[in-house]
């Protein structure tokens, strides 16, 4: 594959609070190429949203400490959105990189028409009057499958259903033909039949615009449907990163294994008891020494010398393209996969 469009290197975001430093995302590295979908999976507080907001330059610099790099390989040359000036990054937003959010109900301004809001995004980077903007907005609404676009472009957000609003958000994000789209839980607030419409739309749009897509979600079902590669995050770190099939059929981290075992599935009817992951994620303010997942991991006793409690495991490449942050050997992991059984 050619050079990836986005290269995130050692990105760390922390927030100083009265109780201490919250390490929301910690030493994150990944890449996404055009035409590729990377899913970032994790539970609340795992740092998946924080990371992408940092790439977009959307953190308030007064409250967030950010280090590392997020390099966009533009045609004009690479730009690091972490070290570039806020004004430079602002002019990349909406043009080279765009983002859609979880709650389409609140993500659109209630006082402006859909057309106004899309046209505003377009006119920021294109010469054209308001009329041209509305025309462009209508085309975009048409493209994302909103019936009666010419009429609806003049309507307000509250006149749209949740699914339609998410389509509007997508139309707005894509209006300047961005190379990277970050979708943060884009279907979480939607009903399941609408969710499949939106996922289908995202897939089509990705092809149409040849975009790099980062899909942030907690839903392993959604991931299976759209992702090419997956990063699994836990307590601010990437714990496993691999191609889609590897993650589901050869999970190489006890947390990933645990997640897959803990979810009920419509495709498995034989009343299997869910294997829950015991306990809860650690506080991001006082992360335990060693592996953050250790206290919930049922295999850590297999690692000699109490290594899990003392040393943070590296994100090692065990097989080509498959990274895992675990002290267990490949053999032990294989046994772990088999012993819990339910996956596959």
Of residues 81 through 110, those in contact with other proteins by CB under 8 A are 90-95, 98-99, 101, 103, 106-110
Torsion sign across C-alpha atoms 243, 245, 251, 257: positive
Which is nearest to 279 in space by CA: 265, 300, 264?
300
Find the binder of other proteins among 16, 20, 128, 221 (CB under 8 A). 221
| Pairing of β 237-243 and β 322-324 | antiparallel
The residue (of 29 and 203) whose beta carbon lies closer to other proteins is 203
What does the alpha-carbon distance between residue 170 and residue 75 come to, in Å, rounded to a whole number? Answer: 24
The residue (of 260 and 333) whose beta carbon lies closer to other proteins is 260
The residue (of 243 and 311) whose beta carbon lies closer to other proteins is 243
Which is nearest to 52 in space by CA: 150, 157, 184, 179?
184
User: Considering only 16-24, 68-76, 216-224, 332-340, which stretch makes contact with other proteins by CB under 8 A?
Assistant: 216-224
Please, which of residues 229-248 interact with other proteins by CB under 8 A? Answer: 244-245, 248
User: Considering only 7-15, 213-221, 299-307, 321-329, which stretch makes contact with other proteins by CB under 8 A?
Assistant: 213-221
| Residues 63-82: x where in contact with other proteins by CB under 8 A, - otherwise, as a string | --------------------
Contact between 142 and other proteins per CB under 8 A: no
Residue 99 beta carbon to other proteins: minimum distance, rounded to whole angstroms: 5
Residue 8's DSSP bridge partners are 30, 70
Residue 329 beta carbon to other proteins: minimum distance, rounded to whole angstroms: 24
Please, which of residues 167-186 interact with other proteins by CB under 8 A? Answer: 169, 172-173
What does the alpha-carbon distance between residue 310 and residue 130 come to, in Å, rounded to a whole number? Answer: 61
| Residues 9-48: x where in contact with other proteins by CB under 8 A, - otherwise, as a string | ----------------------------------xx----
Reading the block at residue 14, the tokens are: 């922390």
What does the alpha-carbon distance between residue 326 and residue 313 come to, in Å, rounded to a whole number? Answer: 5
Residue 145 beta carbon to other proteins: minimum distance, rounded to whole angstroms: 9
Residue 90 beta carbon to other proteins: minimum distance, rounded to whole angstroms: 6
| Residues 293-332: x where in contact with other proteins by CB under 8 A, - otherwise, as a string | ---x------------------------------------
Q: How many of the other CB atoms lie within 10 Å of CB of 134?
A: 21
Secondary structure (DSSP) of 57-79: T-S-TTT-EEEEEEEEEETTEEE
Find the binder of other proteins among 133, 163, 251, 282 (CB under 8 A). 163
Find the binder of other proteins among 262, 306, 310, 339 (CB under 8 A). 262
Which is nearest to 184 in space by CA: 224, 229, 215?
215
Environment class of residue 74 by beta-carbon count within 10 Å: exposed (0-12), middle (13-18) or buried (19+)?
middle
Q: Report the half-sphere exposure of 5 (CA within 13 A, side-chain side).
A: 22
Nearby residues of 53 by Cβ (< 8 Å), 6 or more positions away:
59
Find the binder of other proteins among 200, 208, 314, 316 (CB under 8 A). 200
């Amino acid at each position: 594959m050619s050079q990836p469009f986005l290269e995130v290197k050692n990105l760390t975001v922390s927030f100083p609070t009265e109780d201490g430093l919250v390490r929301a995302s910690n030493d994150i590295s990944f890449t996404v190429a055009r035409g590729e979908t990377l899913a970032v999976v994790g539970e609340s507080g795992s740092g998946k949203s924080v990371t992408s907001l940092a790439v977009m330059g959307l953190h308030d610099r007064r409250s967030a400490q950010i280090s590392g790099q997020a390099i966009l390989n533009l045609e004009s040359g690479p730009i690091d959105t972490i070290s570039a000036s806020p004004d430079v990054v602002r002019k990349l937003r909406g043009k080279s990189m765009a983002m859609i959010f979880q709650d389409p109900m609140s993500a659109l301004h209630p006082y402006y028409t859909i057309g106004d809001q899309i046209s505003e995004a377009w006119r920021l980077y294109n010469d054209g009057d308001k009329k041209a903007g509305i025309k462009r907005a209508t085309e975009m609404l048409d493209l994302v499958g909103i019936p009666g676009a010419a009429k609806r472009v003049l309507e307000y957000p509250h006149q749209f259903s949740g699914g339609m609003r998410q389509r509007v958000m997508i139309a707005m994000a894509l209006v300047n033909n961005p190379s990277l789209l970050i979708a943060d839980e884009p279907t979480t607030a939607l009903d399941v039949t609408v969710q499949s419409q939106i996922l289908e739309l995202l897939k089509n749009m990705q092809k149409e615009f040849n975009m790099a897509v980062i899909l942030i979600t907690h839903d392993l079902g959604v991931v299976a449907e759209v992702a090419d590669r997956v990063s699994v995050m836990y307590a601010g770190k990437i714990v496993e990163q691999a191609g889609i099939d590897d993650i589901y059929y050869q999970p190489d981290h006890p947390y990933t294994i645990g997640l897959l075992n803990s979810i009920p599935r419509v495709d498995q009817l034989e009343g299997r008891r869910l294997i829950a992951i015991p306990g809860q994620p650690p506080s991001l303010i006082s992360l335990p020494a060693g592996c953050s997942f250790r206290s919930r991991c049922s295999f850590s006793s297999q690692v000699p010398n109490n290594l899990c409690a003392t040393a943070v495991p590296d994100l090692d490449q065990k097989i080509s393209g498959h990274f895992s942050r675990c002290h267990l050997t490949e053999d032990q992991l294989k046994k772990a996969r088999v012993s819990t059984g339910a996956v596959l």
